[in-house]
Amino acid sequence: MIMQLQKLIWNLPEAISLADVMTGLEENFQFEPPTATSLPRTYYDTFDWRLFKQSLLLVKEGRVWSLKDMSGQVKENLSGEPKRIFRYWWDFPASGLRDALSGLLSVRALLPASLKLSTQSLRILNKDEKTVAYVDLLEQEDGAGAHLLRSVCLREVRGYGKQFTKMTRFFNQYGKGKSTNAGEELRSALKAEGDRVPLDYSSKFAVGLDPVMSARGAVKTIYKDLLATMLRNRQGIIDDIDSEFLHDFRVAVRRTRSAMSLIKNVLEPEVAEHFQAEFRYLGQVTGPTRDLDVYLLMEDNYKSRLPQCLQPGLHYFFEDLALRRRREQKRLAQDLQGSRYQQIITDWQEYLDRDDRENPTAKSETPVEKIARKIILKRCLRVVRDGRAIHEDTPDTDLHRLRIQGKKLRYSLEFFSSLFPAKQMGKMIKQLKVLQDNLGDFNDLSVQQDMLREYLADIKPRTVKSKELAAAIGGLLTNLYHQHRRIRTHFEETFSSFASEENLTVYHQLFG
Amino acid sequence: MAIIAVYNIKGGVGKTATAVNLAYLSARNGTSTLLCDMDSQGSASYYFRIKPTKKFNADKFLKGGKSVARGIRGTDYEDLDMLPADFTYRNIDIALDEFKRSKRQIQKILKPLAAEYSNIFLDCPPNVTLLSENIFYAADILLIPFIPTTLSYLSFGKLIDFFKKTGIDRKKLYVFFSMVQKQKRMHMDMMQSFAGRKRILNTHIPFLADVEKMGIFRRPVPDMRPNSPASHAYEKLWREVQEIIARE
């Protein structure tokens, strides 16, 4: 029944100073001398903009956290929290905000971008000296004293709508008022702190190729994009911000290696051979930390698999993993700052920047579209052939090999997807993903069981702790074993839907 | 959540000062608060420098709903809104005739507002009228400022009689001593004679110049003179009223 109070914001043109605005106000309105405050305002989002992508902004002012939409409407807020750093959603105390963030952020950390706004607040008065509107003049300067943001915020006082309208007309000389400035503030905060802009990073692979590009030009475009991903994520791995930096880095390395083995005779053989080995090295040094990350992220999942009485042993297990991870991460951070890493990156960058026409090879000048069709179709037929050979008694290792083949097909579809109709490519990648998820889960469970068996073998007996630990690992192994078998039974169904006549016809039509 | 009416049959006992200062203290805690000026003299409205909008009058008020919501204005303080009184309120009893002399009309009007404001204060006009009877029904707490004199005592007796006669819950009544002058023997004797009786609050508000000066500064005392004895007295009174609200 009570109306929401209005609020409007004007961003001032470059040429207008706050003093100009003040002079204008003095000539037209009566107000109390302004009070000045300076309050930091910090915006938070993940490295890959999970909030911004959903048109959301998380902002902290003083001790108040609010999750707002782009129109400034507050979705959730949390106030009165002590001065603590909340990096992940699980760091927040139980609240609506925490629940909202858990779904949005998943495993990613929040990164801050701060803005220091100095505010002059004035009360506009009527002839009874009653406040009839609030005006805030806001200004942000960066470290070098350059003005980044200058704005006016007008707030309504209930029952004084006429004065609000009158003031709105006055401020409209600076353009049209908006209901929120949060987007601009975020951009400004980012500008003050570094060179980031919203949505400047996505873990999704998307490279635009031209069908008439030479094969070498095209693969270099792909490699450059993957290299950029590695470079973007390196610092996050060293600073150990969250597990996704390493994950994205490793995916880029894997894609690079995969491209080298899938797209043959395009790079000079000795170049391909050399970098194949170098990227294998990057895969190796990043492996142990990632493996431990995967287990540590499984903590809640594993807990839910065991009865209460086996939980203490599991706790020791995860304590031990966390300790190992700290050691591995330190080593990894050193490797990524070491000379071999630097050499690989510099050499690769230099090679990619060279003229495409240097040292031509058998297929370096072939149009990329021709090569792409051939590779995708070949990969598809290989998956179908290997998949059809699988029956009930096939050993697990064959399913793991099929997973690798599937991955190669998926990468080749992704590398070249810009050359073919987007809708169909999207559908095919999705369809393949269903099969890959089944095989991936199957493989993960298999790897996890291997790891747990090895872990069990290494436990030194004779203490209470080791007894509890062994019991928990045993319980977990049993549980994982059953799930592993269950997933195996779903394979046939999943595969036959992928290898359907209809689906294969589409492959032949598009790539044959 | 509570509807708190400040009332006395007699005028000039510090009703408006109580309503204004307690409403201010309620909002100062961040509790959304509405102060309704029910007195056609509009003293509470004057203290907040608020005039009713041109279209607002007793008929609009009694209509309730959006017509009331449109009459609400923001004070100079966060979380404190006010419904100013209009001079037409002086004839509100006649206007109530249109509602078949209903005793529950004010209750009906306040109900939707209670969903939006945590505390609602009513600054009531003196006398026993149909309007005050309406307010007795609507209020959760009837706060009675009481100058410790014989005349006050007599008028208080009349109020009790009225409650008995109409059957309105007397447990809503809470009395506190107002404009107390310690140097006056009669004040002290009167307060002494009430000692230990139920529904008498422990806090009393002394007779202080700062309270009178509210008319000059047009601001609540705890905002104008935060550390004065008058402010402390109202803060103490508000704490006691909050305890009652929590108990109810």
Find the farthest-apart pair of alpha carbons in chain B and give their distance in angstroms, rounded: 51
**Cβ–Cβ contact B37 with A under 8 A:** no
Q: Do B112 and A130 touch (CB under 8 A)?
A: no
User: Quick one: pLDDT at residue A4?
Assistant: 84
Angle (deg, nearest 10), helices A368-388 and A501-511 = 160
Mean pLDDT of B42-49: 95
Mean pLDDT of B57-66: 90
Mean pLDDT of A392-421: 94
| Token digits of residue A490 | 């779903």
Please report, as a single letter, which amino acid is at residue A171. F
pLDDT at A244 over 70: yes
Please report, as a single letter, which amino acid is at residue A321. L
Cα–Cα distances in angstroms (integers) from residue B70 to residues A2, B65, B107, in the given order: 8, 9, 18
Q: How confident is the model at residue A285 (pLDDT cuts 50, 70, 90)?
A: very high
Instruction: For chain B, give the mean pLDDT.
Output: 92
User: Quick one: pLDDT at residue A217?
Assistant: 95
pLDDT at A461 over 90: no
Please report, as a single letter, which amino acid is at residue B213. K
Mean pLDDT of A50-58: 95
User: Quick one: pLDDT at residue A143?
Assistant: 62
Query: How distant is the alpha carbon of residue A4 from its chain centre?
Result: 36
Mean pLDDT of A91-116: 93
Instruction: Tell me the shortest Cα–Cα distance from A159 to chain B, in angstroms.
Output: 4
Instruction: Tell me the shortest Cα–Cα distance from B76 to chain A, in angstroms.
Output: 6
Could you give the percent of chain B with pLDDT greater than 70?
100
Mean pLDDT of A436-446: 93
Angle (deg, nearest 10), helices A339-353 and A311-336 = 60
Q: Do B50 and A159 touch (CB under 8 A)?
A: yes
Summarize pLDDT for A246-281 with one digit per residue, the tens: 999 999 999 999 999 999 999 999 999 999 999 999
pLDDT at A184 over 90: no
Question: How far apart are the two ends of chain A, measured CA to CA in Å?
Answer: 66
Could you give the percent of chain B with pLDDT greater than 90?
70
Mean pLDDT of B12-38: 95
Q: How confident is the model at residue B199 (pLDDT cuts 50, 70, 90)?
A: confident
Mean pLDDT of B200-205: 93
| Token digits of residue A206 | 């998307």
Instruction: For chain A, give the mean pLDDT.
Output: 92
Top-confidence residue, A295 or A62: A295
**Cβ–Cβ contact B73 with A under 8 A:** yes
Q: How confident is the model at residue B193 (pLDDT cuts 50, 70, 90)?
A: confident
Q: Do B74 and A128 touch (CB under 8 A)?
A: no
Q: The whole model's pTM is what?
A: 0.76
Q: How confident is the model at residue A71 (pLDDT cuts 50, 70, 90)?
A: confident
Count CB atoms within 10 A of the CB of residue A36: 9
**Cβ–Cβ contact A163 with B under 8 A:** no
Q: Which of B48, B66, B81 faces A1 most closely, judged by CB atoms? A: B66
User: Quick one: pLDDT at residue A233?
Assistant: 97
Summarize pLDDT for B137-173 with one digit per residue, the tens: 999 999 999 999 988 888 888 888 999 998 899 999 9
User: Quick one: pLDDT at residue A357?
Assistant: 86
Top-confidence residue, A450 or A188: A450
| Token digits of residue A120 | 């002059």
Q: Which of B49, B69, B115 faces A129 most closely, judged by CB atoms? A: B49
User: Quick one: pLDDT at residue A15?
Assistant: 87
User: Quick one: pLDDT at residue A145?
Assistant: 64
Enumerate residues 133 to 152 of chain B having a beta carbon within 8 A of any beta carbon in chain A: none
User: Quick one: pLDDT at residue B248?
Assistant: 77
Q: How confident is the model at residue A465 (pLDDT cuts 50, 70, 90)?
A: confident
Contacts of B48 in chain A (CB under 8 A): 130
User: Quick one: pLDDT at residue A216?
Assistant: 95
Name which of A211, A246, A259 is nearest A47 in CA terms. A246
